[in-house]
Structure 1
Amino acid sequence: MLLEPFQKSAALSLGVELELQLVNTHDYDLAPYSDEMLRLMSKYELPGSVVPEMTSSMIEISTGVCHSSDQVLGQLSEIRDALIKSADRLNIAVVGGGTHPFQQWHERRIYDKPRFRELSDLYGYLSKQFTIFGQHVHIGCPDADSALLMLHRMSRYIPHFIALSASSPYVQGQDTQFDSARLNSVFAFPMSGRAPFTLSWEAFGQFFEKTTRTGVVKSMKDFYWDIRPKPEYGTIEIRVFDTPLTVERAAGLAGFVQSLASWFIHEQPFMPQEDDYMVYTYNRFQACRFGLDAVYVDPTTGEPIALREHIRLTLRQISDHARKLGASYGVHILGEDAELGTNDARWLRETQQRERLLAEVVRRASMRFRGRG
């Protein structure tokens, strides 16, 4: 099978997808209301799209093509407001976060869609365990080779993305001691992890042809990589973010990605190497486990540094680009959070310590998504 052509897109354009939880307002467990939500949401004229996800207690929203994090925030806010109105009519709530803190995976229902049924047949119980919630950020690239160069440069910053977005400390009612436990579920899938180190679309096409010839994959959708090319959009898609508790944080993270991409394009700060990946899995684990308290091993020097210090260094390096793109405010907030060691995982834990009831944590998280609390 041949790899589809890489479509043209505006460099540094943005698209954001958020996978969201639907919960009842009785005990704040997940509720299988995606069909009803989609029916109500179809009555609104909105940017982007609202679609089902793997199980029926999930829903995915996405922006259209945006050119700034402010535009991302505007579109996400408009969709969020419609979601809240629809959820209120159904007496349910919409919540962010990378995992639902106490849902039981075996109670989930696979959404009735051919691709989801096919995945359920292939992956068995993993499909229901995939009731996890992430933010995906697309960044436009001028051509295919530039996209692969961008992808491998971005890979150095996967720990930064994980730690700043981490919002999944609880699974099945237990504190996992991970800030982002969601990514442990992703790693169970055979085509997860990192993309192969190729810097030309021709070489990537040869890899794709080999894997499809074996029957291991049928399309680009079968790759669950942390970052993958999306040739049909002319973008790369970063997939490691937990869904934040607020759309404001989601937009700030998109602004961080866009500012990094601008730095890469205009200053060419480094050339990625295959050896960058020697510390990739370790750095990824550190960020999942410890969040902003992680250790980051610099791929170039091999020297360990506190991840929050490397985040602060990175934000200084991209500050001019953030300013020119209008992303300074959101990026500044992320910098303050790195300074304080504050992310959504910490908020969830502190709320649980105060309230002593995970259902109350979910209720309060639903209020945060609404823009309250």
Structure 2
Amino acid sequence: MLNEKSEMFKCSSGTRNSFLRTKPVGRRKLTLEFGKSHPFTLGAELELQILNRETYELSSSSPLILENVGGSELIKAEIYQSMIEIITGVCQNAHQIKEDLGVAFSELLTASKNLNLCFAGAGTHPSAIYQDSLIFPCDRYQKVLKNHQWIAKRLLIFGLHVHVGMRNGDHAVQTTNALLHYLPLFLALSASSPFYKGEDTNLASSRITFFEALPTGGHPYTFYNWSEFNEIYSTLLKSGSIFSPKDLWWDIRPSPMLGTIEIRICDAPGTLSECGAIAALVHLLCLKIDQEISNGENPKPPPDWLLRENKWRVARNGVRAELIVNESGSIKSLTTVLNETIESLEIHIQNNKYESQMSLLKKIALHGSGADRQRKLFRKTEQFKMVSESLVQELESDRTNWSLQREKKTKPNLKKRGKECA
């Protein structure tokens, strides 16, 4: 099954370009053809922190891990050697997303068994500084650093990327424009980067702010069909602003070589179950949007000011944010927007058996995302090491620490109760 699916997600360091379908113009490929994929198939990439199992500090050990995995299609390098990416194949649904990530994570644990390493899912390491991490030796990463300098050096950050297969380029653009309205939900539910370089940023997601500094970062430019996207892409390419579609560091972007759209706004969640639940929400929304397009609707993106404001509100307050829901400035709590969105997806939830995934998302909105869990633990312990250790436990057990804390709190103290009875 995995061998059949692995073609979709080769590696983050550039070999996916072999699947890029383009019309060559001289040495530059200026016109992108949208690749073929089965509509609404899914894929995911999860960037994880590599930690020393004793200190819980980042460890620049990805070359050792990659040497041990021996060319696995499921584990790839990232820009820093203290990062590692696990990858799914082409999945039919979000259930398979979680299953594939679990297989990849198990392979990662096996490859690092004798290296005294462990792994964590979060948008940032709470205390690490990028100066202590080594760049992975790769031409693409060196070019990124040369072009973006200090801005690129700060990319010691970790995210979840979800791919969805599209019918064609125009379908990808229409779906992207519709999904822009829902990006705040994805960011809030995954927000897990409250700390940076040993400081509380007072944000739920500090990671997402780093992309805003990149000239082709943040939310995408406005375009309404594949031809308009190609015009923007070719202009950026000819001007030397970018060198490939991968240089479009947008929150959501077409991925023409794969025939997908790629939702990139999410912080790395703490558990694989959270990854699967977010992928399920992405899947459901794409199915709903496609139904609306089939009924003759032409999705319009939100106004730029509204998109930016809601993104900021979520980056700042996470699941506690209040979102602007129309151009008149009306607001609703993010929890209300999430519940209304899930209610509108009911038929697709039943068809795909996503009830448990939607229940988990509601729990995150109620109890808090990874950012809330980390901050709560740090306020209790005042130790970043304890925060990182908890993140490792979450990923390895696939259980959020608020669920573990709740179980611990309700467990009866038999010794004390015995004394009371005596």
TM-score range, shorter chain: over 0.9
Structure 1 residue 145 displacement after superposition: 0.4
Write the deviation string for residues 324-364 of structure 1: whole angstroms up to 9, x where unpaired.
123221122102322x1421111111121222211111012
Aligned to 1:356: 382
Q: Decide whether the 8 Å contact of 1:109 with 1:128 is kept in 2.
A: no
Check if 1:272 corresponds to 2:273: no
Structure 1 residue 300 displacement after superposition: 5.4
Instruction: Write the distance in 2 (CA, Å) between the matches of 1:301 and 1:42.
Output: 56
Instruction: Write the distance in 2 (CA, Å) between the matches of 1:39 and 1:120.
Output: 25
Instruction: Write the distance in 2 (CA, Å) between the matches of 1:203 and 1:104.
Output: 40
Report the AA paired with residue 316 of structure 2: R
Aligned to 1:130: 155
Aligned to 2:274: 249
Check if 1:343 corresponds to 2:390: no
4+ residue segments displaced more than 4 Å? none
Instruction: Write the distance in 2 (CA, Å) between the matches of 1:70 and 1:198.
Output: 32
Report matched runs for 1:235-314 at 5 Å. Answer: 235-268=260-293, 271-299=298-326, 302-314=329-341
Instruction: Write the distance in 2 (CA, Å) between the matches of 1:150 and 1:70.
Output: 22
Report the AA paired with residue 54 of structure 2: H
Aligned to 1:28: 56
Check if 1:141 corresponds to 2:169: no
Q: Please list every run of 5 or more consecutive structure 2 residues that lacks an aligned counterpart in the other structure.
A: 1-28, 399-403, 405-422
Structure 1 residue 172 displacement after superposition: 0.6
Report the AA paired with residue 377 of structure 2: T
User: With CA pairs under 8 Å and 6+ residues apart, which has the higher RCO, 1 or 2?
Assistant: 1
Q: Decide whether the 8 Å contact of 2:178 with 2:301 is kept in 1.
A: no
Q: Decide whether the 8 Å contact of 1:87 with 1:94 is kept in 2.
A: no
Structure 1 residue 26 displacement after superposition: 2.4
Secondary structure of residue in 2 paired with 1:228: strand
Q: 1:41 aligns with which of 69, 73, 77?
A: 69
Q: How many residues align?
A: 369
Q: 2:43 aligns with which of 6, 15, 20?
A: 15
Aligned to 2:359: 332
Aligned to 1:6: 34
Secondary structure of residue in 2 paired with 1:2: strand
Moved more, 163-172 or 187-196: 187-196
Moved more, 252-261 or 112-121: 112-121
Aligned to 1:190: 215
Write the deviation string for residues 116-170 of structure 1: whole angstroms up to 9, x where unpaired.
1111122222233101000000011111101000001000011100100001001
Structure 1 residue 274 displacement after superposition: 5.0
Moved more, 224-233 or 192-201: 192-201
Write the deviation string for residues 286-320 of structure 1: whole angstroms up to 9, x where unpaired.
00000011121114554211112111110111122
Secondary structure of residue in 2 paired with 1:93: strand
Structure 1 residue 257 displacement after superposition: 0.2
Aligned to 1:77: 102
Q: Decide whether the 8 Å contact of 2:323 with 2:334 is kept in 1.
A: yes
Q: 2:228 aligns with which of 203, 207, 226?
A: 203
- TM-score using structure 2 length: 0.84
Report the AA paired with residue 235 of structure 1: T
Q: Decide whether the 8 Å contact of 2:98 with 2:276 is kept in 1.
A: yes
Q: Decide whether the 8 Å contact of 1:167 with 1:179 is kept in 2.
A: yes
Report the AA paired with residue 367 of structure 1: Q
Secondary structure of residue in 1 paired with 2:360: helix
Write the deviation string for residues 189-244 of structure 1: whole angstroms up to 9, x where unpaired.
11112222222111221222222222111221111111110011110001010001
Q: Give RMSD over aligned pairs.
A: 1.6
Q: Decide whether the 8 Å contact of 2:178 with 2:300 is kept in 1.
A: no
Instruction: Write the distance in 1 (CA, Å) between the matches of 2:289 and 2:332.
Output: 22
Moved more, 264-273 or 85-94: 264-273
Instruction: Write the distance in 2 (CA, Å) between the matches of 1:190 and 1:28.
Output: 34
Check if 1:162 corresponds to 2:190: no
Q: 1:111 aligns with which of 116, 131, 136?
A: 136
Structure 1 residue 273 displacement after superposition: 2.8
Q: Check 1:271–1:300 CA distance in 2 against 1; reply closer, same or farther (3 A cut).
A: farther
Instruction: Write the distance in 2 (CA, Å) between the matches of 1:255 and 1:3.
Output: 32
Instruction: Write the distance in 2 (CA, Å) between the matches of 1:272 and 1:303.
Output: 21
Report the AA paired with residue 151 of structure 1: T
Secondary structure of residue in 2 paired with 1:3: strand
Q: Decide whether the 8 Å contact of 1:54 with 1:127 is kept in 2.
A: no
Q: Check 1:138–1:274 CA distance in 2 against 1; reply closer, same or farther (3 A cut).
A: closer
Instruction: Write the distance in 1 (CA, Å) between the matches of 2:84 and 2:204.
Output: 23
Q: Please list every run of 5 or more consecutive structure 1 residues that lacks an aligned counterpart in the other structure.
A: none
Check if 1:88 corresponds to 2:116: no
Check if 1:369 corresponds to 2:395: yes
Q: 1:62 aligns with which of 72, 82, 87?
A: 87
Structure 1 residue 7 displacement after superposition: 1.1
Instruction: Write the distance in 1 (CA, Å) between the matches of 2:346 and 2:193.
Output: 29
Report the AA paired with residue 360 of structure 1: M
Report the AA paired with residue 40 of structure 1: N
Instruction: Write the distance in 1 (CA, Å) between the matches of 2:37 and 2:224.
Output: 19
Secondary structure of residue in 2 paired with 1:97: coil
Write the deviation string for residues 246-302 of structure 1: whole angstroms up to 9, x where unpaired.
111101100110001111112349643355333000000000000011121114554
Identity of aligned residues (%): 29
